[in-house]
Amino acid sequence: MAQIYHKKLVNAKNMVLNAHKNKYAIGHFNINNLEWTKAILEGAQETKTPVIIATSEGAIKYMGGVNVVVGMVNGLLDDLNITIPVALHLDHGQSPEIVKKCIEAGYSSVMFDGSHLPYGENLTKTKELVKFSEKFNVSFEAEIGSIGGEEDGVIGSGELGDPIQAAEISKVGIDMLAAGIGNIHGKYPDWWKSLSFETLEKLQAACKMPMVLHGGSGIPQDQVKKAITLGISKINVNTELQLSFRDATRNYIEEKKDLDDVKKGFDPRKLLAPGSSAIKATFTELVTWFGSKGKA
CB of 184 closer than 8 Å to CB of 226: no
Q: Which of 91, 113, 162, 175 is catalytic?
A: 91
Phi and psi dihedrals of 52, rounded to 5? -110, 120
Question: Three-class SS of residue 144?
Answer: strand
Q: How far is CA 103 from CA 30, 97, 99, 142, 267, in A?
A: 17, 10, 6, 15, 36
Vertex 258, ends 252 and 260: CA angle to 5°? 125
Task: Please count the other Cβ atoms lying within 10 Å of the Cβ belonging to residue 181.
Answer: 28
Beta strands in 120-239 (DSSP E): 139-144, 149-151, 154-156, 176-179, 211-213, 232-237
- DSSP assignment, residue 191? T
Dist CA 203 CA 180 (whole Å): 10
Residue 260 among the catalytic residues:
no
CB of 234 closer than 8 Å to CB of 25: yes
Residue 112: closest CA among 82, 139, 74? 139
Dist CA 200 CA 181 (whole Å): 6
Task: Please count the other Cβ atoms lying within 10 Å of the Cβ belonging to residue 221.
Answer: 10
The widest CA-to-CA distance across the chain, in whole angstroms, is 65
Which residue numbers are catalytic?
91
